[in-house]
């Protein structure tokens, strides 16, 4: 059964002949390789290799890039982008930013396609994972539908003009298959899918390599080393990081941040960054950072929970298989 929730978002349109060069000066992904209508998760990094935010960037068919920030990071992201755009324009570059007053409505779950297709003029089977289209949704114009989401399930995120977001949400909730969902449901689903939460599992003190997000670095970008913090990040790729993000499973009281993770001799080797009971698995799941020597799946560690030590097992992620709609 699909679930829906509304969140604020500050999507930004990036125009100009230098829009790809502009964005690649800020993020680690290969934006130039994106086909029209294709998007990617990428990372905005700082000069120390830390993650300022994780973004979804889409190369639209309308000759602009479409950037969606985390709502909590939107102001700082916008300041970084505006500053860089001004620098590029001062050097003769052509780039222009337009911030939209939109909300983000997520519709996720096995019945999503059946529900949404009834309100779309487009054939939803042609919209595969991480592709996007501008369209009308249940009579609301000016929407952008992207087949992605933060749950590990097949789903879409709908960028909708803020003034009509409640109208669209109510229209979807009028479908008997759709239930509203809050942050607790989203958090357990994203954790089961092994997805990071900005501010918990990634932030400006963590690098893409430590976070296990090396796949976001485009091959061409690794060679060019032309993104912020490239020297530090690529040195970690070569020498291996001193700590790594891992998955943990346990029974008993759930593992919650910022619980200490202890090695076999009882010495601290890391910290829990996210944790909750898994409704799908019937046991506790968590993420955290541990020293690289203790990061191998199958390693038994100990976590301090309510002043007691509780066994935890390093476990591969995702904890629950994902069900993204991929191209056949």
User: pLDDT, tens digit, for every residue of 234-266?
Assistant: 999 999 999 999 999 999 999 999 999 999 889
Annotated binding-site positions for substrate: 157
252 dihedral zone (left: phi>0; alpha: psi -120 to 50; beta): left
Please give the mean pLDDT across all residues of the chain. 95
Q: What is the pLDDT of residue 167?
A: 97
* pLDDT for residue 105: 95
pLDDT at position 3, please? 58
**Token match 């097949």: residue?**
154
Q: pLDDT digits over 142-161, tens only?
A: 999 999 999 999 999 999 99
The model's pTM: 0.94
pLDDT tier at 100, thresholds 50, 70, 90 = very high
- Closest listed residue to residue 312, CA positions, set 261, 238, 278, 244: 261
Give the residue numbers of the binding site: 157
Q: What share of the chain is helix, strand, coil (3-state, %, to 5)?
A: 25, 35, 40
First to last CA, the chain: 23
Arithmetic mean of pLDDT, 293-306: 97
Cβ-based neighbour number of residue 242 at 10 Å: 11
Beta-bridge partners for 104: 7, 159
């Amino acid at each position: 059964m699909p679930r829906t929730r509304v969140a604020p978002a500050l999507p930004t349109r990036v125009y100009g002949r230098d829009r790809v060069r502009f964005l690649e000066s800020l993020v680690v992904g290969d934006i130039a390789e994106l086909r029209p209508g294709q998007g990617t998760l990428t990372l905005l990094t700082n000069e120390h290799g830390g993650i300022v935010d994780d973004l979804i960037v889409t190369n639209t068919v309308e000759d602009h890039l479409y950037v969606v920030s985390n709502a909590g990071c939107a102001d700082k992201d916008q300041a970084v982008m505006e500053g860089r755009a001004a620098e590029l324009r001062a050097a003769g570059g052509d780039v222009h930013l337009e911030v939209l007053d939109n909300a983000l409505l997520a519709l996720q779950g096995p019945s999503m396609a059946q529900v949404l297709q009834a309100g779309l003029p487009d054939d939803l089977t042609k919209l595969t994972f991480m592709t996007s289209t501008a369209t009308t949704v249940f009579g609301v114009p000016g929407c952008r539908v992207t087949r992605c989401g933060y749950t590990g399930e097949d789903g879409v995120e709908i960028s909708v003009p803020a003034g009509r977001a409640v109208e669209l949400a109510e229209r979807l909730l009028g479908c008997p298959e759709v239930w509203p969902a809050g942050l607790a449901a989203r958090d357990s689903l994203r954790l089961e899918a092994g997805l990071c939460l900005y501010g918990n599992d990634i932030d400006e003190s963590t690098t893409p390599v430590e976070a296990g997000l090396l796949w976001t670095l485009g091959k061409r970008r690794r060679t060019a080393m032309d993104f912020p913090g490239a020297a530090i990040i690529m040195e970690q790729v070569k020498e291996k990081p001193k700590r790594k993000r891992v998955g943990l499973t346990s029974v008993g009281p759930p593992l919650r941040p910022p619980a200490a993770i202890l090695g076999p001799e009882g010495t601290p080797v890391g910290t829990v960054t996210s944790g909750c009971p898994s409704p799908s698995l019937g046991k506790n799941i968590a993420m955290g950072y541990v020293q690289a020597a203790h990061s191998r799946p199958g390693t038994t560690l100990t976590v301090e929970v309510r002043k007691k030590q509780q066994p935890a097992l390093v476990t591969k992620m995702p904890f629950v298989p994902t069900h993204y709609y991929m191209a056949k």
